[in-house]
Amino acid sequence: MPLKALERTVIESRYWATQRKKEVGALVSGLDLRDKRILNVGAGRTNLTDELLGQPAGEIVNVDIEHFPNLDLLASATDLPFGNDEFDVVVFLRVLHHINDFRRALEEALRCTKPGGLILLSEPYRFMVKLTNLCGLASHPPNTITQRDIEQFVHTHRLEIRRKWARIFLYYFGYQIQVTSQRK
């Protein structure tokens, strides 16, 4: 769902960029991304780069449903145009709450992630979503993704939580989810 102008101004600010770098650094902490193929879903104007990751990566593919000049491909998170097991890492940076069917988006990410790969994500807490709604910044569907939603997805698909952050970025939580060979 397209961002409102005020929301875009906030997330494109210098302060937000500094916080985003810390957030991405935390999500990839402990990972060696050399020779890894990474899919950044919902990139918007923020492409994942070696600089943002804090280390060199093999290949990074940045996609979004909206057109931005920096994207590699226009694609819906709920219908990714990639084959099964194509990526080592799939990343959702504060994106799932903008998607009407976030569970379908996670299932698509799972389909595209190799066994042993990772799904990295960050999402705002419910009160942050309510606050953005009150401020007129909300450009997302009425759904709010909770830690319970993510953990239920992990359990249902027989995945593993490698790392979990209660506060990865301001009032956002984060996960490193390991895709296992026994996935459903």
Which pLDDT tens digits describe the chain residue by residue (184 residues)? Answer: 566 676 677 777 788 778 888 899 999 999 999 999 999 999 987 788 888 899 999 999 999 999 988 899 999 999 999 999 999 999 999 889 888 899 999 999 999 999 999 999 998 866 566 666 666 666 555 668 889 999 999 999 999 999 999 888 778 899 999 999 766 6
95 and 84 in contact (C-beta within 8 Å)?
Answer: no
- The fold of 5-178 is Rossmann fold (3.40.50)
Residue 89 makes CB contacts below 8 A (sequence gap 6+) with 31, 33, 36, 37, 38, 39, 113, 117, 118, 119, 120
